């Protein structure tokens, strides 16, 4: 059986709803960018701010299955709907992102609690280069 190839398309205004649904599906364990779930208005403002150098919707056939981005610091972020969340799809998506954006170095910020993504990036040849610690006075005191 032939595998279905994924494709990446740049984020458009009509993707805001899909991106929000994907965000709502995320497990708190994997979040590194926010402590609480953003409101719809905060989400739209964030998307409109164009926070990443490149941001794509991941498609399999005509289905939107996830999102992947490349930050301005060449960091890869990926999130795929649970029903499509296979390691092979994630690896194919990351490889496609890297082929579309030739850089000499890529990074991935992964929560230390997210063992699945740590394993995924290691399989792609990524190596750990640092541990980052944060004290957020808004939530700790």
Asked, for residue 97, whether it belongs to a domain, the answer is yes
Q: Residue 94's domain spans which residues?
A: 6-140
Q: How far apart are CA 54 and CA 98, in angstroms?
A: 11
Count of all residues that appear for the chain in the document = 141
Asked, for residue 1, whether it belongs to a domain, the answer is no
pLDDT of 102-135, one tens digit each? 888 999 988 888 888 999 999 999 999 987 887 8
pLDDT of 60-101, one tens digit each? 999 999 999 999 999 999 999 988 989 999 999 999 999 999
Q: Are the C-beta atoms of 112 and 131 separated by less than 8 Å?
A: yes
pTM exceeding 0.95: no
Q: Report the CATH number at residue 14.
A: 3.40.630.30
Query: Crossing angle of helices 40-48/16-25, nearest 10°?
Result: 120
Total structural domains in the chain?
1
């Amino acid at each position: 059986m032939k595998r279905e190839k994924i494709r990446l398309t740049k984020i458009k205004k009509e993707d805001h709803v899909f991106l929000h649904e994907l965000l709502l599906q995320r497990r708190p364990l994997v979040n590194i960018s926010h402590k609480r779930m953003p409101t719809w208005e905060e989400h739209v403002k964030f998307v409109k701010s164009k926070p990443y150098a490149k941001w794509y919707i991941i498609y399999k056939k005509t289905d939107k299955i996830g999102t992947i981005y490349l930050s301005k610091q060449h960091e890869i972020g990926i999130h795929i709907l649970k029903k499509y969340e296979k390691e092979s799809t994630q690896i194919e998506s990351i490889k496609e992102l890297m082929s579309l954006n030739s850089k000499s170095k890529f990074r991935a910020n992964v929560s230390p609690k997210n063992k699945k993504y740590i394993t995924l990036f290691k399989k792609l040849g990524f190596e750990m280069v640092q541990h980052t610690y944060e004290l957020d006075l808004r939530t700790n005191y």
